[in-house]
Structure 1
Amino acid sequence: MAFGSASRLGVSLFDETPPLEWVPGISVEEKESIIKAIYRQVLGNAYVLESERLVVPESQLKRGEISVREFVRQVAKSELYRSRFFENAPRYRAIELNFRHLLGRAPLNLDETRAHSTILDTEGFEADIDSYIDSDEYQSTFGENFVPYIRGYKTEAIEGLVQFTHFFQLVRGASSSSLKGDLAGKQPKLNSLVIQNIATPVISPASSGATFRTPAGAARTRQGVGAGDDGKVYRVEVTGYRSNAVNRISKFRRSNQVLFVPYNQLSESYQRIHKQGGTIASITPVN
């Protein structure tokens, strides 16, 4: 899904910044920018001291001895990453952060999180890191030389609107940190949502959404007229709505729209809004 610069979801910087690629002949300054971008993505916007940087792998990358993908692997397997996001966090919090840092999205479903939990049980931490970086998804999306980036709001990275809402529990704007300043702290944010496959409110980080946490029981029971058996009704705000039709001389804009969508129609509505060029500004349950 393409988001305009006026998007209130806090993803405009992600959407407007092209992916970084390591190519032969880049300058020393460009190499340093890519290395810093890797630290920023893999370590979830955490501040990295000069003494904490991986000097030897950095040197290998600069000399062309390893690829960006292998440097990402080194950072994700480092004591710096392990101490921050694995040893000091509950298992399912660590898993959801691995998805954010290494694949740029939230887990799609319970099967994905269980699969990684099994790898941790049977093969250990480093094997689990390898399972993300050696996956077909990583290879087809980032390859050897692209820096991983946040992409969990795009249709090609998710299955539907439920996963779209889960992404915003992990990332609240381009400057958001994986742990620092997060009300959830080190506790899992998606575990119960993934288990029950339920959507969660998405509110602009410019408002109270910056500190929003899904309340217990939210979006779990039937509420409201037309809610259906699978959930409640959601209020979906759409902005920048315009036609994507290629046979039009000019694209038209309509005023912002508010849709009331039953839970079991969320994914269908998400696809329709995307095809029509809309930008989802917020998703909140109707009380």
Structure 2
Amino acid sequence: MAFGPASTLGVSGYEDTPPLELWPGRSQEEIETIIRAVYKQVLGNAYVMESERLKVPESQLKEGNISVREFVRQVGKSELYRSRFFENCARYRSIELNFKHFLGRAPDGYDEMKAHSAILDEKGFESEIDSYIDSDEYQSVFGEDIVPYIRGYKTQPGKKMVGFTHVFELFRGASSSDLKGNLSGNRPRLNRLTIQEIPTPVVPPSGATEGWSFQDPPRGARTRHGAGADDRGKVYRIEVTGYRSAKQVRRVSKFRRSNQVFLVPFDRLSQEYQRIHQMGGVISSITPVN
């Protein structure tokens, strides 16, 4: 049973389902389930085409020649993982995703991020992957035969509570993907937050609650605080996931933020809705605020 209000945060699948473990004597169908679960966790819930699957490591696992842990290692060191989460990502984005994919949690602080950055500088990509899978933490939590899973939302000995909020910056529910569909793209989600140990609002995934948001958006000069509301005083919160030029033109858009919020009076709601779409914005949610 998922715990309290957090069951709306996208973690109920992990609360209600025991970890997957490869026991001796598993059927081929059960081993196939293990393989799919490894791809899902290590590749951040991104779609894997049949041609991209690692046939040789899969066969080795099915024949009992390697453990789940070694299969996780081979997926992590694969060109598939490298091209998606290393070569095309900013360094600290890559590191924070490694924590999520292999240890199931967010980085515990800047010291952890810096240590893994040093591994990349001194030893390279494959050693960075090994550093998670060969860690005492991985061995004590997952061992040889348990598929890694998201666990950073739980209280853990020796871990800072700020990591609880940070894991929800990285994990946006079972329907999200680390490859696509993230407003931050390839940029780090936690860089400044980790360095300064700043907790963040825990925002439910889309559709989980009435007032969901993709991320906690800044409120500044562009935010309209409901000035001019009519006698009913009804104001709506409109979240816009991003502005972009309506046509392909060679100029930098004047809209720099990927995520904006407008608080709009009811009597101007339709007008604001049309204005946002005319400027190329994508509305993610409209919710009442009073």
TM-score tier by shorter-chain length is 0.7 to 0.9
For 1:212, which of 215, 225, 229 is the aligned residue?
Answer: 215
Deviations 1:259-285 (A, max 9, x none): xxxxxxxxxxxxxxxxxxxxxxxxxxx
Distance 1:96 1:158 in 2: 19
Distance 1:50 1:157, change over 3 A: farther
**TM score, norm. by length of structure 2:** 0.71
Aligned counterpart, 1:12: 12
Distance 1:210 1:66, change over 3 A: farther
Q: CA deviation at 1:160?
A: 3.3
On the 8 A contact 2:86/2:94 being kept in 1, the answer is yes
Deviations 1:46-91 (A, max 9, x none): 0000000000000000000000000000000000000000000000
Aligned counterpart, 2:66: 66
Structure 1 gaps, min length 5:
218-287
Distance 2:50 2:156 in 1: 36
Is the counterpart of residue 31 in structure 1 residue 31 in structure 2? yes
On the 8 A contact 1:20/1:147 being kept in 2, the answer is yes
How large is the Cα RMSD of the aligned pairs? 2.0
Distance 1:32 1:101, change over 3 A: same
DSSP-derived class of the 1:7 partner:
helix
Distance 1:47 1:34, change over 3 A: same
Q: CA deviation at 1:15?
A: 1.0
Distance 1:157 1:28, change over 3 A: farther
On the 8 A contact 1:5/1:12 being kept in 2, the answer is no
Q: CA deviation at 1:215?
A: 3.3
Aligned counterpart, 2:56: 56
Structure 2 gaps, min length 5:
221-290
Q: Quick one: percent identity of the two aligned structures? A: 68
**TM score, norm. by length of structure 1:** 0.72
Aligned counterpart, 2:42: 42
Aligned counterpart, 1:124: 124
Distance 1:152 1:216, change over 3 A: farther
Q: CA deviation at 1:152?
A: 0.7
Distance 2:6 2:87 in 1: 39
User: 4+ runs of 1 displaced by more than 6 Å?
Assistant: none
Distance 1:158 1:46 in 2: 31
Is the counterpart of residue 174 in structure 1 residue 177 in structure 2? no
Aligned counterpart, 1:152: 152
Q: CA deviation at 1:179?
A: 3.0
What pairs up with 1:259-278 in 2 under 5 angstroms?
Answer: none
On the 8 A contact 1:45/1:177 being kept in 2, the answer is yes
Pick the structure with greater CA Rg: 2
What pairs up with 1:57-206 in 2 under 5 angstroms?
Answer: 57-156=57-156, 159-205=159-205, 206=208
Q: Return the letter of the residue paired with 1:160.
A: K
Distance 2:5 2:38 in 1: 24
Q: CA deviation at 1:131?
A: 0.3
Q: Return the letter of the residue paired with 1:190.
A: L
Distance 1:216 1:167, change over 3 A: farther
